[in-house]
Structure 1
Amino acid sequence: MYGHAQAHDCLAFADAETAAEEANEIVAIASARTWGEARSVAVRHTWNPAGPEYVELDEHDDAEPFDINELGAVADGNWPKMVTSRGLTLLPKDLQTRFGTNADTVFNGDYLEIPLAAEAELVAALRERGLEMTRDDDLINTLDGRTFNPAD
């Protein structure tokens, strides 16, 4: 699956088999009202930046109000992982080179920048290889954290 990633204004790709579940995990963590709720979200496809591996348990009481944007991993842009970086592993290398540019960020690593204008030709090339392609901009942007940290 793919869509228009607002943060980088380009196309991004995700694994259709896990994308919806991962998006649900991201939304559950981001919409938690208390630290206890945030910590209790079980994850299979992402990591929980409010979990005990990342935040000391005694640092916040379970009943304390939770704001996802106050977490260092979120403020630094490390959570959730940039959706545009997934193209570097999901797309065949020859199509990455043909349609995209390997770009980098100062803090969050590399990503594949694929212009929106390449959509029709790239999707056709992927379908020729037997891949079903569905566009879902909302899901792509949920995976990128836009539901709680909208692009400017």
Structure 2
Amino acid sequence: MTTHRSDTHRLVYGHAQMHDCLAFADAETAASEAAEITAIAAASTWGEARALRTEHAWNPVGPEYHDPEDGPADDAAFDINEVGSVQDGDWPPMVATRAFRLLPQDLRDRFGASSATVFNGDVIEIPLAREAELVAELRERGYEVTRDDELINVLDGRGFSPLVG
């Protein structure tokens, strides 16, 4: 059977440093989402951060999530680490949770272990040592799989997260 592009699941994966495990993301949207996360984190003023519209990542200071009346003025200096959802570890969402929706159940059960975090729910920890076997299994099932550690860690907030030591 030939797999057509519309039937192919495209995944990007890498070593998620905060959880020291493999993590997966949808290759169709991961780069755009990472660019949105980076733009929000890099904003120099609260107004600039609030004004950023996103398609793939939610903006933790956008009007849907943050009332401008309750926060600093638009011209105030912006520091992503002053945002409550970032301090709480909720933004960006942990990349190690995505395997719950991206990987087939049998592969999650075979290669990973669900682990509860203190505040942010469960993640799937897939040991780095299982990479070759898991990637081979995914490719056998018709997945296109590409490794990109940097992208995975941007999606996880690795560049600015206050949780990173």
TM-score range, shorter chain: over 0.9
State how far apart, in whole Å, the 2-side matches of 1:149 and 1:111 are. Answer: 17
Deviates more, 1:49-58 or 1:19-28: 49-58
Structure 1 residue 113 corresponds to structure 2 residue 125: yes
Match of 2:67 among 53, 56, 60: 56
Q: Aligned ranges for residues 135-150 of structure 1 at < 5 Å? A: 135-149=147-161
State how far apart, in whole Å, the 2-side matches of 1:127 and 1:54 are. Answer: 39
Match in the other structure for 2:56: 45
TM (normalized to structure 2)? 0.89
Match in the other structure for 1:10: 21
State how far apart, in whole Å, the 2-side matches of 1:21 and 1:92 are. Answer: 24
Match in the other structure for 2:113: 101
Amino acid of the residue matched to residue 17 of structure 1?
E
Match in the other structure for 2:38: 27
TM (normalized to structure 1)? 0.97
State how far apart, in whole Å, the 2-side matches of 1:129 and 1:55 are. Answer: 42
Structure 1 residue 125 corresponds to structure 2 residue 125: no
Match in the other structure for 2:90: 78
State how far apart, in whole Å, the 1-side matches of 2:122 and 2:141 are. Answer: 26
* Cα offsets for 1:61-115 (capped at 9, x unmatched): 1110000001110000000000000001100000000000011112101111000
Amino acid of the residue matched to residue 153 of structure 2?
N
Using the TM superposition, give the Cα deviation of residue 54 of structure 1 relative to its aligned residue in structure 2, in angstroms: 2.5
Q: CA RMSD in A?
A: 1.0
Q: Aligned ranges for residues 87-98 of structure 1 at < 5 Å? A: 87-98=99-110
Q: How many residues in Structure 1 have an aligned counterpart in Structure 2?
A: 152
Give SS of 1:117's match. helix
- Give unmatched runs, 5+ long, in structure 1: none
- Give unmatched runs, 5+ long, in structure 2: 1-11
State how far apart, in whole Å, the 1-side matches of 2:104 and 2:66 are. Answer: 37
Amino acid of the residue matched to residue 142 of structure 1?
V
